[in-house]
Amino acid sequence: MAKVFFLTRIKMRPMRDQLEKHLSMLRRQGLIEPWHDRRIAPGDLLGDAIDANLLEADIVLLLVSPDFLASEYCYSREMLLAMERHQRGEAKVVPVILRACDWKGSPFGGLPGVAQGWEGHQSLAGY
């Protein structure tokens, strides 16, 4: 079973929740185990829980938006760690473009991103 880490900003949680619903059949089939910050147990330290799960992830979905790119924590800490793991072959990083932004110049800009053709992308544009 592949552990899937959703890396996103708080503002994009509604879109993350929708994407997780779209992936629910893969979860039901035992193919993936989704994880995001809402799964942090009470009393756990936020940063420690995020780091531990990011280091265990097989797939990291970067839920990209202008807010994501502007976040010092998401960009400089979580995304860079995910990209280091990707470059070492320890995890696969997949950019999912939630909102139009200048992501091609980023460290993940050379990776194929998902945006066009994702059913539901346009219906989620209001978030």
**Domain extent listing, the chain:** 2-124
- The residue ranking higher by pLDDT, 37 or 16, is 16
Range 105-126 average pLDDT: 66
Query: What was the pLDDT predicted at 92?
Result: 97
Mean pLDDT score of the chain: 87
Residue 118 has pLDDT above 90, yes or no: no
| CA pseudo-torsion sign 102, 14, 46, 83 | negative
Average pLDDT over residues 65-73: 93
> Which has more confidence, 113 or 20?
20
Q: What is the pLDDT of residue 119?
A: 44
| Residue 101 token pair | 């932004």
Query: What would the mean pLDDT of 112-124 be, rounded to a whole number?
Result: 55
Q: What is the pLDDT of residue 68?
A: 93
| pTM > 0.95 | no
The architecture in CATH of the region 2-124 reads: 3-Layer(aba) Sandwich (3.40)
- State both tokens at 29: 């089939």
Label residue 125 by pLDDT band (50, 70, 90): very low
- How far apart, in whole angstroms, are the C-alpha atoms of residue 79 and residue 86? 10
